[in-house]
Chain A
Amino acid sequence: MDIDVREIINIPKIQSMGEALFAATGIASAMVAINGEMLTRSGWRAACTQFHRNHPEAFQACKKSNILVRDGLLEGKKQVVYTCPHGLIGAAAPIIIDGNHVANIITGQFFFHKPDEKEWHFFQEQTEKYGFDKKAYLEAISKIPVITEDRLDSIMDYLSRFAEIIEELGYANLKSKKIEKQFDLPRDVAENPVLERAGPLHAGTCGFNESDQRYNNLIDNLPDILYRFCEKKGFFFVSNRVERILGYRAQYLTENPFAWKESIHPEDKKSVERALSKAKKEGFFDISYRIKDAKGNWHWFRDRSISIFEKAGEFIIEALASDITQRVKVEKALADSQRQLTDIIEFLPFPTWAIDNESRLIAWNRAVERLTGVEKKAILGKGDYAYAVPFYGEARPILIDLILKRDEQWEKKYISIEEEEDIPMLSVSFHPLLGEQGRYLAGAATKLYDAQGNIVGAIETVRDITDQRKAEEKLKRSNQDLEHFAYVASHDLQEPLRAIVGFLQLLEKRLGDQLDEKGKHYINRSVKAGHRMQKMIQEMLTLSRVNTKGGTFKLADLNIIIQKTLDDLHSIIDQKKPRITCAKLPTVNVDADQIRSLFQNLILNAIKYNESDTPVIEIGSRDDGKYYRFFIKDNGIGIEPMFHKRIFLIFQRLHTNKEYPGTGLGLALCKKIVERHAGTIWVESRPQEGSVFYFTLSAKR
């Protein structure tokens, strides 16, 4: 908040205390408001009052020195000791009220030791430089007291304690003022009539019509600072708004007509000078620069001329200065975050680019340069889908645009495209223009938001999946080939088999009476072997069909499937009378016929490989989140752990056909079915301790 130190500190009282201090100790002191205004002054040295501050040029140096003091104190020091530009030593302590540095208590001037020869030489130079009366000046210098540094410490101690008391009093006053203000109307501008104070100094030359109070009121309430400036004389009018923005009273600036110019950032001074000299020719200027306020903070100003005219050989500039610090900060933050974004994008190993919400390209990294052969500098900033050309040979919406604005017509052109809420949009596309034989790209795009949640653009990244896709296609083809081979082979194998078995049977039938028992036995054995072979061929066919001729996946209630499976197995169930318990099973997305076949094989095995009087079979499932895990537990003969993997291979059997009939297809089929459902199957078992078969099914609901 802005504090007017005059309102909360009894200045005349402080003045009289300062005078009393000087009378008692000979210590000169002053209180200077942060905007440079001298509030109290007592016992100041003749060297200062009669010479330095009495000479316009020397006084400017004093003023500058005051700013140095201000800057030093603002660094949070309790007090500073400094040498003024005229070689005298001073000290200052800050007055900080409610966190605001409002003024400084200054003491001076003195020496730490008698001036030596070199220093006397400096003072003699000063007399020549400023044209002082040599004798009077050197006498004034010789009257400046010499104090030891110890003494300075105690003086400083006194000063900072004094400053503290002022701070405390000021704070108490400030509080009570605040309470008053709650019941008060806004302060009338007329109470602070800078124009009336500043005006008469230049009345009739350049001032505004000071009698028009309403006009003044209007000017002071402008959000911008209105000022008039003579090239040679500097500021001679500035609106009161300046105090709210820079902390300097308007009066201070008219009294120090070049303070404004001096407060401009050193790096900006040249461009301001240039703009001014250009303005003299062109009749206007519109510039931005940094300027330091009374507290030492930098502000960004936009300064625009209203009129520039010449009067009596002087350029007079009338201009409006606006504080654009906030806007510059926001713009800088924006530029910073955009810069950060492009840095991150640049760093990414995958081809990546970004657009703003007007679909202009704002980032294009090195990886995408390499992929497309289009350089960043050639394409950055372009809109109208120019960035699509390297990918498609035409300007058209691509994924990065589609995420901002859906368009079915273009989405259809992708090999695949998917979008779910809150995750990037994903795509797969083919680009014949890229690479030697075209490239497959997997793209991901997402919207970009600002802190307020507004969409500010989008980003897309692609990954070259050509090799992966080719490998997948090759694998798919070879799997298909293999399945086709199994299908054809088993088909063709059946023909000669039928001939072998058929003719053997014909042999027995037509010529059986010419054969002895042994001959008939051999025929019998051959026919049986043929039958078994035919069964195996059929099962190979079944296995090859799990993937090629599988049905569609639909939500199925496994409780119903289990019921149907048990119906299918009724003859063996009637025969061996097992006790089957089945917990409630979930509803899952499956190929119902295959799952029925899976359960049928597992339950059949549990009954078949079981020597108990009453086979006990438990069926159940567990929800593991991503998967459902099913189990079929029996009290059967169990399996040696070394065979736990082998039993899932086709035609691998642990028993002879005589012990337990079968071809060794069942579990291989189970494995293939579970794998088609993206699950796994395994067994936990020991001989004589029963077996538990587990399998998983995806729980994607």
Chain B
Amino acid sequence: MTGINSIKPANVLLVEDNEDDIELTLEALKESKLHMKIHVVTDGISAMAFLRRDGEHSDKPRPDLIFLDLNLPLMDGREVLKQIKADQNLASIPVVVLTTSEDEEDILKAYELHANCYVTKPVDFIKFSELIKQIEGFWLQLVKLPHKGL
């Protein structure tokens, strides 16, 4: 975040409605040494508008990684996931499902909808920030993804 880094910053979209979780996630992401630009939307409809660059979002970048909460107002996280994966332009963006649910059914459903990764938010912040680091490392550094949709 220093701007000195010549690498183009990665765009991360956080779809989360709980303010505490937003702040904690941002804090966890702050701990990361990666150069990131984080965008936050708080409901499913805004998430889809952001991704499709509708209206006020016309100038928004295409994110490199999406953190998606499942329980969202207006449009459920599962529906958001379904729409992303059904959209040719968006389907290749890795989506990390982040929830409190450990319910096997939720997990299965998410994978059926082609979530790239499913993460249960731990209560412990230390563990959470560790987890975020690993996710970023995997999706933003290790894995080479096509930059545009097919």
Contact = CB atoms under 8 A, between A and B. Distances in A.
Contact of B20 (A498, A505, A509, A534): A498
B112 interface: no
Given A491-B101, A549-B105, A496 B125 contact: no
A538 interface: yes
Nearest to B20: A499
B61 to A, nearest CB: 28
A562 interface: no
A392 to B, nearest CB: 40
B88 interface: no
A165 interface: no
A506 B100 contact: no
A491 B100 contact: yes
Contact of B123 (A487, A497, A545, A549): A497
A501 B27 CA distance: 14
Contact of A495 (B18, B102, B104, B105): B18
B21 A495 contact: yes
Q: Which of B100, B123, B124, B126 has the most CB of A within 10 A?
A: B123
Contacts of B18: 495, 499
Interface string A243-266: 000000000000000000000000
A530 interface: yes
Contact of B24 (A498, A527, A530): A498
Nearest to B106: A491
B139 interface: no
Interface string B69-110: 001000000000000000000000000000011111100000
B121 interface: yes
Nearest to A507: B125
A541 B101 CA distance: 10
A501 B102 contact: no
A527 B101 CA distance: 21
B46 to A, nearest CB: 20
A549 B125 contact: no
Contacts of A503: 20, 24, 125
Contacts of B124: 501-502, 505, 527, 531
A506 B123 contact: no
A541 B106 CA distance: 14
B133 to A, nearest CB: 14
Interface in A438-473: none
Nearest to B99: A491
Given A494-B100, A506-B27, A549-B105, A501 B125 contact: yes
Contacts of A487: 103
In this complex, the interface size class of chain B, counting residues with CB under 8 Å from chain A, is 10 to 19
Nearest to A534: B123
Contacts of A506: 24, 27, 125
Interface residues of A, number: 22
Q: Which of A487, A494, A502, A527 has the most CB of B within 10 A?
A: A502
B21 A538 contact: no
A161 to B, nearest CB: 104
A509 B28 CA distance: 12
Contacts of B100: 491, 494-495, 498
B118 interface: no
Interface string A551-575: 0000000000000000000000000
B111 to A, nearest CB: 17
A538 B102 contact: yes
A495 B21 CA distance: 8
B34 to A, nearest CB: 19
Interface in A495-550: 495-499, 501-503, 505-506, 509, 527, 530-531, 534, 538, 541, 545, 549
Contacts of A501: 123-125
Nearest to B122: A498
Contacts of B21: 495, 498-499
A538 B122 CA distance: 12
Contacts of B103: 487, 541, 545, 549
Q: Which of B24, B27, B71, B125 has the most CB of A within 10 A?
A: B125
Nearest to A499: B20
A545 B106 CA distance: 13
Contacts of B121: 498
B102 A502 contact: no
B22 to A, nearest CB: 10
A545 to B, nearest CB: 8
B118 to A, nearest CB: 16
Nearest to B127: A505
Contacts of A545: 103
A530 B123 contact: yes
A531 B126 CA distance: 13
Contacts of B71: 491
Contacts of A502: 20, 24, 27, 123-125, 128
A644 to B, nearest CB: 32
A502 B100 CA distance: 14
Contacts of A495: 18, 20-21, 100
B126 A505 contact: yes
Given A498-B21, A530-B123, 17 more contacts: A487-B103, A491-B71, A491-B100, A491-B101, A494-B123, A495-B21, A498-B20, A498-B100, A499-B18, A501-B123, A502-B125, A502-B128, A505-B124, A531-B124, A538-B102, A545-B103, A549-B105
User: Which 8 A-B pairs rank lowest in CB-CB distance, beginning with the nearest?
Assistant: A499-B20, A502-B125, A505-B125, A534-B123, A502-B24, A494-B100, A498-B123, A501-B123
9 contacts: A491-B101, A495-B20, A497-B123, A498-B20, A499-B18, A499-B20, A501-B124, A501-B125, A506-B24
Interface of B: 18, 20-21, 24, 27, 71, 100-105, 121-126, 128
